[in-house]
Structure 1
Amino acid sequence: MANELLHLKFDHVFDSDLINEIDKIGVIRTFSKNDIIIDINQPLQYIPLLLSGHIKILREDSDGNELLIYFLEAGETCTMSLTCCMGTSKSKIRAVAEMDSSLIMIPVQNMQSWFHNNEGWRNFILESYQTRFDEMLEAIDNLAFMKMDERLYKYLINKVKLHTSKTIIAKHQDIAEDLHTSRVVISRLLKQFENEKKIKLSRNKIEVL
């Protein structure tokens, strides 16, 4: 099963020998929705490759408030965890399963040797860094330049794209935590969107129109 998913998600990136090696040495882990996959200050000895599902990457301030940085989809890896592993430091992010997800965990030493010896792996890592860097810049721009209503609507649209569904299952409090604001603000803005015919609200459910 893991080998099939590896070929399905990474065949266009890795050669068959590397996929078979990943399948051989990798450790399969499955997580349910809202499970913490990697936590802040956790020592990292493995690199995750996402086989199925979605993961959200969060930062935390000194008061314990979380801020959504970016989402990971199947076929991707978390470059923040890569950076921590390369520097043998502890995780600076929290990775949470957005939905039921499966990953294959690769020992750090393999990741480092492949970077020097396998062009496909090296290109994958470098492209992942670029993608995540661009997303972090976008997150900074959102915080610095966009009003909360714009950030919220963009968040909803990203959720629609991520889940390929116009119906979003989420509590207002969960959205508030992702966007680092209060539930009252989110509820008010969602009601405003509903009045503007942009969304339709029901209990723990948002339909983007």
Structure 2
Amino acid sequence: MIQELTTYFGHIFEDALLHEINQVGTFKEVSEGSTLIEIGQYIKSMPLLVTGVIKVLREDSHGDELLLYFLENGDTCAMTLSCCMGQTKSEVRAIAETDSKLVMIPVQKMEEWLAQYKSWRNYVLETYHSRLNELLETVDSIAFLKMDERLLKYLHDKTRVTNDRIIHNTHQEIAYDLHTSRVVVSRLLKKLENMGKLELHRSHITMVTH
């Protein structure tokens, strides 16, 4: 595990911290579609994402979901940090968008490292900053963009984080992420195809423009 930690976090953390993470962290592999964090659960450890993509979702009172942001290699979730440090229940759901590898860090070590390692403090603060900016983008998208613009942004975000122009999600799965209906998504995808932005296939969507 130390080799993968060095590859993805060596530019962020000093060697002493990398070795501590290797010693106390729990390595975990999850398959696409697996739920990592559930709404309402207490979180005892914080995930460092080594490889893969995780999507973080919020749920309304009717059980409908809204995509907040994606986590990529080298990321962690600010919501998880808050829950771990405050010992509160999670208010988000985290699902593996692709097969992923993570290192789970015990909450007590997170607190120790804030005082012990400057690189860890900087990482935690930068994580809060990055996730806040992504949340603001989500709010702006809902408030100011039309649904077809939101859909196109969502598709571009997915191709960016997965590094793949082919999107395998169903129209219904996309609708869940955008908190809208499958009928609306299907209609707008057809509109975007007619505009030359993408190609629709039976089992996937291919993005044409970036």
TM-score range, shorter chain: over 0.9
Contact 1:57–1:71 (CA under 8 A) maintained in structure 2:
yes
> When the two structures are aligned, how many residues end up with a matched partner?
208
- Contact kept in structure 2, 1:199 and 1:206, CA below 8 Å: yes
Instruction: Find out whether 1:171 has 2:170 as its counterpart.
Output: yes
Corresponding position: 1:72 with 2:71:
yes
Partner of 2:194: 195
TM-score for the superposition, normalised by structure 2: 0.98
- 1:45 matched to which residue of 2? 44
Distance (whole Å) between structure 1 residues aligned to residue 102 and residue 76 of structure 2: 9
Give the superposed CA RMSD: 0.7
Aligned to 1:151: 150
- Tell me, in whole angstroms, the C-alpha distance in 1 between the residues paired with 2:159 and 2:106: 34
Q: How far apart, CA to CA, are the structure 1 residues paired with 2:74 and 2:34?
A: 19
- What secondary structure, in the 3-state scheme, does the structure 2 residue paired with 1:203 have? coil
Q: Which runs of 5+ in 2 are unaligned?
A: none
Residue identity opposite 1:136 in structure 2: L
Q: Which residue of 2 aligns with 1:112?
A: 111
Per-residue CA shift, 1:182-207, capped at 9, x if unaligned? 00000000001111111110012111
Give the residue type in structure 2 aligned to 1:62: S
Structure 1 distance, partners of 2:195, 2:20, is 53
In structure 2, the partner of 1:26 is 25
Q: Shift in Å at residue 109 of structure 1? A: 0.5
Distance (whole Å) between structure 2 residues aligned to residue 110 and residue 4 of structure 1: 21
Give the aligned partner of residue 103 of structure 1: 102
Is the 1:48–1:106 Cα contact (8 Å) retained in structure 2?
Answer: yes
Letter in 2 for 1:200: E
Consecutive aligned runs of 4 or more in structure 1 exceeding 4 Å deviation: none
Counterparts of 1:112 and 1:79 in 2: how far apart (Å)? 14
Q: How far, CA to CA, are the matches of 2:127 and 2:19 in structure 1? A: 21
Measure, in 2, the Cα distance between the counterparts of 1:133 and 1:111. Answer: 20
Query: What percentage of aligned pairs have identical amino acids?
Result: 50
1:55 aligns with 2:54: yes
Q: Which amino acid is the alignment partner of residue 194 of structure 1?
A: E
CA distance in 2, matches of 1:204, 1:55: 22
SS in structure 2 at match of 1:41? coil
Q: How high is the TM-score relative to the length of structure 1?
A: 0.98
SS where residue 89 of structure 1 aligns?
A: coil
Instruction: Write the distance in 2 (CA, Å) between the matches of 1:175 and 1:204.
Output: 13
Show the 5 A alignment for 1:8-23.
8-23=7-22
Q: Secondary structure at the match of 1:40?
A: coil
Q: 2: CA distance between counterparts of 1:123 and 1:161?
A: 25
Preserved CA contact (<8 Å) 1:172 1:204: no
> Helix, strand or coil: the match of 1:176?
helix
1:181 aligns with 2:157: no
Q: Secondary structure at the match of 2:40?
A: coil
Give the deviation of 1:9 after TM superposition: 0.6
Alignment partners' CA distance in 1, 2:89 and 2:202: 39
Gaps of 5+ in 1: none
Secondary structure at the residue paired with 2:76? coil
